Every structure is written in structure tokens, then in C-alpha cells.
Amino acid sequence: MNIQTKEEFLQVYKASTSDQLKEQELDQDVLEIISGVRKDGDEALYRYTNKFDHVVLDSLIVSEEELLEAKKQVDAGFLDALKQAKENIEAFHKEQKEQSWFVNKAPGILLGQKVTPIEKVGVYVPGGKAAYPSTVLMDVIPAKIAGVEKIVLTTPPQANGKINPHVLVAAQLVGVDTIYKVGGAQAIAALAYGTETIEKVAKIVGPGNAFVARAKKWVYGDVAIDMIAGPSEICIVADQTAPPSFVAADLLSQAEHDELASSICITTSEALAEQILAEVEKQTNVLERSEIITQSLKQNGKIIVTANLKEAFSVVNEIAPEHLQLMIEKPYDSLSNIKNAGAIFLGNYSPEPLGDYFAGPNHTLPTNGTAKFASPLGVYDFMKKSSIISYSEEALLQATDSIIKIATVEGLTAHANSIQIRKDDPNA
């Protein structure tokens, strides 16, 4: 981690973009898996699970027995915390629910949009050594509130053929319909195209490794996906009122995700920058994941000193960070300066982990600069709109000439005819 000026930082900084040609090798593998699942269905899922997860499964579906067993394995304190988180996440996301609407702006004319839930959704939850019950809550609760009829979850089995009990408990708590023991590109293919056991869904959400991410890109269009997530990022804007120990702890919490994670602090105070650096060194050593943290900070840890807050915000908007913490004296006064960020945390007592697990807003956020065009996952991602167009005979007859004129210019004369035929003989 080092201290830079805004100019030094921006000269080098660029949100990474995909190198389409470089990914072709991974794509060959992913495409083979997708086409295997489309061809062989369940049989391919058993085969790939054996190959990649080194597990021979009896069933692709988590049994009732396994669900009961999981409940016994998790401690009551964790379950209480999870229930509180669920309540907060539900309360926040209920505010996002959209309504159908219409307007009558002229006699005989009704226009509007009907809002309906997506019918079937698949949630991918990564496996591996860690378990992510919080991802289950964040991905399933908005779909439930939207009114999605069927929500299934798929996650790779552990070496013993089981699923982590914390994930199973979270899935039961939020009411997932079925849980599958399938991971990787094969899980994405199964959700996108269906197999004997796994029903095709209309939308796939959830994070995953490179195979999952590429598979999501390939099935995109045939089904909807939430986003293609990149490494996680934090950007903290701090002035002299920010406790350096808090800032350092928050940078480190981001860095522990993985070596590619970015932890960036932007401050107007050179003195604070030095204090934060000292705190980072002090705190890193006592943390469990200090190796990952050290690697991550070395590659992507930066403290940027700017002349004033205005300059700091221009850097923020260029980065468009996934997480933005405003640890400054008057954070609300600066909100108008923020154009691009996934989530904005205000003040010294709103650290990122509060949002990751508990406060209520979604932790599935646009990464790698995509906050320039994308939003946090929300209820709106599980609903869709149908436009409503209703004209009376009188209303249409007033509009015929304009419609025919434009259709004719575009060379679509059968379009013109559809209007003309009504004009010529409205009561056919």
C-alpha cells in the first residue's frame, strides 16, 4: 500500500475490461460443459460433479433429511442474527416494490405499464471452503417480495457430498423451493436450459467463480442474469475527522476477500494518510487472513491525497466503486457530488460489513466500474413490465394520418395498411 496524488493514480487507473480473445480458452471448456448439459441432461450433471467436485452423488436434490440435519448443526446465536438480518433485508426491499400504473391523457386513450413478477428464478451460491448464508438472503428475499412463484437454489457439494449447513438453514429461512447440489458452469447450463430434474428458469442470479461467470455470459439472452461480478472494491473518502484505526480496519476487511480485491482510501489530509498506513500495518498482522490481505493491498491498495473534497469526488466518480464510505465531517452535504457508486455508507459508524450482512440494502452490487450503469440487486430485478395501449375508435381515427405518414417513410406499407383499413371502414 502506498500514498499517491490524484494525478499519479488516474494516470495508471483504468477499470479492467474483458480481453475477449484471451478468454477463448476458458470459453472452450465452458461451451463444452454447456453443450454437454443441453445434450445429456442429468447424466451430464452427475458426470461433471464427479469430475470437478470429486463427488459421486445419489441425488441432485438436497433431501428433507439433510435439511433437518442442517438445522441441528447450526448454533442458536447464528440463527438469531440471521433472522434479524432477514427482517432488515425484507423491510428495506419492500420499499422497492413497483406498482402497475396507467394514465388517461386524452378522451378514449389509456396507456400504462402492468408490472408482473418473473415466474421462475434460479439462485447460484458459491461453495468451496467458505459458506455464504448472507448471499442466500440477499438473492432470495428480493425475489420473494417481487412475488416470484418458484425459487430454486444450486450450489456445489462439499467433498462429503453435503451442502454447508449454514447455507441450508438460510435457504429454509427464506423459503427456497428446491436446493440442488450442482455447481460451476454445469449448474448455470441446467438452470438456463433445464434437465430431467432441474426445471428451466427465466432468470439466474448469484456470484460464482470464473466458470460460473463465463457460463452466465454465454446463456445471457436465453435467460436473464443479474450481472457478471468482478472482484470486490471499497473506496473510502476520509477527512481529518475520520479515526485512522476505523479507516484501516475497513480497508482490511475489503482486502481479505481475495488478492484481486481493491482497497482505496482518498483523503484530503497527508497526516491522516500516514496514520492510516501505520494502522494498516499494525492491524494486518493479527488478522487470520493476513496473507491474502497483504497480497491484495500490495497489488490494489492505494491511499490517494487530494487538495480538497471536490477532487476526491471526481476520483470516486471515475472509479465508480462498488462500496463507497464517506468518513467525513458532513457526509450528507457531499451526497450531491456522488454520481457513480454501488452503495454509499455515510459517517464513521456505517462500515461496509454493516451493509454486507445486516442493515437491509442488498450486498449484490455492481463491481469494477459498472456502477456507471448498473444498480444494486433489488426487487426490480425480479419484476418486469408490459406496456398497455388502449385507444377507442374515435381516438384512433384522429391519429391515422400521422401513423400512416411515418410508416410510409419507413417503407412499411403493411403497417400503413393496418391503419388504413380501419380508417376506410371502422365498423367492418
Q: Residue ranges for the binding site for Zn(2+)?
A: 254, 257, 356, 415
Among 45, 62, 70, 118, binds its own copies (CB under 8 A): 118
Q: What is the DSSP string of 91-143?
A: HHHHTT----EEEEEETTEEEEEEEEE-SEEEEE---SSS--HHHHHHHHHHH
Give the count of residues interacting with its own copies (CB under 8 A). Answer: 138
Using rule CB under 8 A, residue 124 touches its own copies:
no
Among the listed ranges 3-11, 60-68, 265-273, 395-403, the one in contact with its own copies (CB under 8 A) is: 395-403
Distance in Å, CB of 158 to its own copies, minimum = 14
What residues between 60 and 89 interact with its own copies by CB under 8 A? Answer: 77-78, 80-82, 84-85
Task: Pick between residue 53 and residue 356 the one whose CB is nearest to its own copies.
Answer: 356
Cβ-Cβ contacts under 8 Å for 412 (sequence gap 6 or more)? none
Distance in Å, CB of 183 to its own copies, minimum = 18
**Which one of the listed residues 233, 256, 279, 322 is annotated catalytic?**
322
> Has 322 been annotated as catalytic?
yes
Query: Is 376 in contact with 342 (CB distance < 8 Å)?
Result: yes
| Paired strand residues for 154 | 124, 180
Among 35, 50, 59, 63, binds its own copies (CB under 8 A): 35
What residues between 134 and 193 interact with its own copies by CB under 8 A? Answer: 134, 166, 193
Angle at 138 between CA 161 and CA 301, to 5 degrees: 95
What residues between 311 and 350 interact with its own copies by CB under 8 A? Answer: 324, 331-332, 335, 338-350
Cβ-Cβ contacts under 8 Å for 313 (sequence gap 6 or more)? 237, 334, 337, 338
Distance in Å, CB of 196 to its own copies, minimum = 17
Closest CA to 251 of 271, 230, 269, 233: 233
Instruction: Say how far apart CA 182 and CA 162 lie, in whole Å.
Output: 11
Burial 74-97 (b: 16+ CB within 10 A, else e): beeeebeebeebbebbbebbeebb
Task: Pick between residue 182 and residue 248 the one whose CB is nearest to its own copies.
Answer: 248
Distance in Å, CB of 248 to its own copies, minimum = 9
Catalytic residue positions? 322-323
